[in-house]
Amino acid sequence: MMKFKKIIFKNNIEKLKINFDFIDVFSIINQIKLDGGIFIIKVDGERMNDEDIPNNSVIISGGLLQENYIRKDDDDLEKAVFEAVCEYEEKIWKKKN
């Protein structure tokens, strides 16, 4: 199995400067899954924002949100993930504690 770093190197892919640890993010996504929720990251190269930069969407739905959902759209994927998780925390986890 090829490691991600090899794929990045072999394909001359620009590395993102991300300030969070993916283990932490996957742990949070896993907890949302355990809550019965769905976590979707849509990286959309066709849909542009106002500055002609491709947009991303992060959607959390189902589970403890019931019929509600959280959606964040931003060209900064890290920001969209963080804002969606913070809103989920506010709506679900803070109410449980």
Q: What are phi and psi of 62, to 5 degrees?
A: 70, -170
- Alpha-carbon distance of 59 to 70, in angstroms, equals 6
pLDDT digit string, tens, across residues 44-57? 878 777 788 888 99
Three-class secondary structure of residue 75 per DSSP: coil
pTM to 2 decimal places: 0.80
- Alpha-carbon distance of 97 to 94, in angstroms, equals 5
Report residues of the chain scoring pLDDT below 70: 1-2, 18, 20, 97
| CA 9 to each of CA 4, 19, 46, 50, 78: distance values in angstroms, whole numbers, following the listed order | 9, 21, 25, 32, 22
Domain locations in the chain?
A: 18-96
Q: Does domain 18-96 have CATH number 2.40.50?
A: no
3-state SS, 29-40, equals HHHHHHCCEEEE
